[in-house]
Structure 1
Amino acid sequence: MIRLAAPTHPAYPRVVRASAWYDLVVTVGFATPWTYALVHDGLSSLGDTLGLGVLPALDPMQILYANLMGSVVVVWALLRIIEPLPAHGLFDGVARVQFALWQAYALGHGATRLLWLFLVVEVAFGVAQLWPWRWTRRTGLVSCPRLP
């Protein structure tokens, strides 16, 4: 197994926490059907105003998936706000690469161009959290303090 020495720069936990606050602010509205309807209307209006396109009409499955994503991301964000460990930054950076890939895929298949606003932030936070790991040396698993 590969062990990566975690970035030790004191700014790294602040980057992890900043990305978590961004996630919390952006996704808390996705966590319930009622708030998602408001977020959906707001994003559609914004996309229409900016000429970037509107979101598709709401349907029960879209609401379900938005709520599932919102709920998981809110919990993940709270964990990183409370305990911004280097390992959390590494895993969040990997998740942001995945999110960015799926957002790029959606854009390539006709999704509203409003998605570009989110894609840019995903890539920026992904790079900010993964870049410091490039200087780490390989010695086994990702080190992470154990909880008592």
Structure 2
Amino acid sequence: MSRLRTPTHPTYCRVVRASAWYDLVVTAGFATPWTYVLVHDVLSSGGLALGFEALPELDTWQVLFANLMGSVVVVWAVLRIVRPLPEHGLFDGIARTLFATWQAYALAHGASGLLWLFFGIEVAFGVLQLVPWRWGRNAGSVTNDASPTDGRSDASTYWK
């Protein structure tokens, strides 16, 4: 059975951290009802200024789901900023694939063209975080000289 090989180059963890900072900056405003109203207004007027349609009017459900998404993404971003492990990059790359899929679905069903800007960044960070993972040819454990033999990741080995 083949297993994934963990990217061990220090640059990879910098990419994981950079994607986390992007997420934190972009989604922090989604985390509370008060800040989301401001973000919604800025995105709507920005979209209009760029020639796209305005965002739909706010309703309670939209605000709730924006707040839930914003809260989870902020916590996930802080984890990757504080401890950017290769495994976090793998899972973030998978999450970005899901986000990009649903963004493409929304675009295909009439969402504002403003979403293309976010879609492009999701795809770019997804590719940067998933491509370095590759399938190993040897059956057995994950190839990662920087990991202890008990399977836990030692973050200090990734900063060197």
Question: One fold, TM greater than 0.5?
Answer: yes
Structure 2 partner of 1:18: 18
**1:50-89 correspondence to structure 2 within 5 Å:** 50-89=50-89
1:23-51: CA deviations, max 9, x gaps? 00000000000000000000000000001
Counterparts of 1:120 and 1:76, CA distance in 2: 20
Unaligned 5+ segments in structure 2 are: 144-150, 156-160
Unaligned 5+ segments in structure 1 are: none
Offset of residue 3 of structure 1:
3.7
Counterparts of 2:136 and 2:90, CA distance in 1: 14
Offset of residue 54 of structure 1:
1.2
1:96-116: CA deviations, max 9, x gaps? 000000000000000001000
Counterparts of 1:22 and 1:144, CA distance in 2: 27
Report how many residues are paired. Answer: 146
TM-score by length of 2: 0.85
The answer to whether residue 153 in structure 2 is matched with residue 145 in structure 1 is yes
TM-score by length of 1: 0.92
Percent identity over the alignment is: 68
The answer (yes or no) to whether the contact 2:32–2:67 under 8 Å persists in 1 is yes
What RMSD, in angstroms, separates the aligned Cα atoms of the two structures? 1.9
Counterparts of 1:72 and 1:120, CA distance in 2: 21
The answer (yes or no) to whether the contact 2:6–2:142 under 8 Å persists in 1 is no
Give 1 or 2: higher helix fraction.
1
Structure 2 partner of 1:105: 105
Counterparts of 1:79 and 1:68, CA distance in 2: 17
